[in-house]
A and B are shown apart, each in its own frame.
Chain A
Amino acid sequence: EPEVTQTPSHQVTQMGQEVILRCVPISNHLYFYWYRQILGQKVEFLVSFYNNEISEKSEIFDDQFSVERPDGSNFTLKIRSTKLEDSAMYFCASSEAVAKGHEQFFGPGTRLTVL
């Protein structure tokens, strides 16, 4: 069964450093998403991406964040200068076109720890 994959599973970084989180969405999906979950809190939407453009973004997704689809398979989230409060689990998701409904398939997550 196709699935969303994410690497690395755990990333530790120093405050102020740049990090790139990587995702491989399901191959025939057209929409891609990033969410985050701070420990003990709910899952929060960051951004969605379609046709090489941001489709929607939340207030959390400020200038420190960027997304990119560098090739035909990967989808990345970059945090330019990490802060302690960026420590969270980051989930990538993907979905098909509208006609089949808005079901998002989630990857296993990358746990980001900022020291």
Chain B
Amino acid sequence: AQSVTQPDIHITVSEGASLELRCNYSYGATPYLFWYVQSPGQGLQLLLKYFSGDTLVQGIKGFEAEFKRSQSSFNLRKPSVHWSDAAEYFCAVGAKKAGTALIFGKGTTLSVSS
């Protein structure tokens, strides 16, 4: 079955500390991987994506993610968290073929403490 698992429901990080959000996927075809962020009452904003090539991808707002095929993982990282990063983060997987569904994880809520 195709699925995305985000094992951490809620994470609290101190401002300025590093962050890693975990994502594991199960997908039958070559996966296209995404991280989206959702602030309260807002839509989904794409942080970064992996299609092919370099397994370490850079995104907006200083985020990066590393694709590890052997571990079926695509963890999101940021070296220094800002208070404005508090939001919900969703990992998603899809196929290369446009028009196909993105499968989302249940999300991780990030709180930032001062």
Question: In the complex, what residues of B have CB within 8 A of residue A108's CB?
Answer: 42-43
Chain B at the A interface: mostly helix, strand, loop or mixed?
Answer: loop
Q: Count CB-based A-B contacts (< 8 Å).
A: 69
Residue interface bits A35-62, CB-to-B below 8 A is 1, else 0: 1000001111100111000011010000
**Cross-chain contact B49 with A103 (CB below 8 angstroms):** yes
Question: In the complex, what residues of A have CB within 8 A of residue B43's CB?
Answer: 91, 106-109
Question: In the complex, what residues of B have CB within 8 A of residue A41's CB?
Answer: 106
Q: How far is the CA of A98 from the CA of B101 in the complex (A)?
A: 14
Q: How far is the CA of A23 from the CA of B43 in the complex (A)?
A: 13
Q: Sort chain B's interface into a size bin.
A: 20 to 34
Interface size on A, residues (CB 8 A): 29
**Cross-chain contact A91 with B44 (CB below 8 angstroms):** yes
Q: How far is the CA of A42 from the CA of B9 in the complex (A)?
A: 11
Q: How far is the CA of A69 from the CA of B21 in the complex (A)?
A: 38
Report which A residues bind B (CB closer than 8 A).
Answer: 30-31, 33, 35, 41-45, 48-50, 55-56, 58, 91, 95-98, 101-109
